[in-house]
Amino acid sequence: MTNWIDLFSWVLLMGGSFVGISGGIGLLRFPDFYTRMHAAGVTDTLCAALILLGLMLQAGWGLVLLKLFVILALLLLTSPTATHALGRAALHSRLQPLLDNPEELSSKP
Domain boundaries, the chain: 2-97
Q: Does the pLDDT at position 64 exceed 60? A: yes
105 burial type by CB count under 10 A (0-12 exposed, 13-18 middle, 19+ buried):
exposed
- The mean pLDDT value of the chain amounts to 85
Q: Does the pLDDT at position 14 exceed 90? A: yes
Q: What is the pLDDT of residue 26?
A: 86
**Among residues 85, 83, 53, which one has the least CA distance to residue 68?**
53
- Global pTM reads 0.77
Of 9-13, 73-77, 99-103, the one with minimum mean pLDDT is 99-103
Residues contacting 8, CB < 8 A, separation 6+: 57
One-letter amino acid identity for 2?
A: T
Angle at 8 between CA 6 and CA 13, to 5 degrees: 90
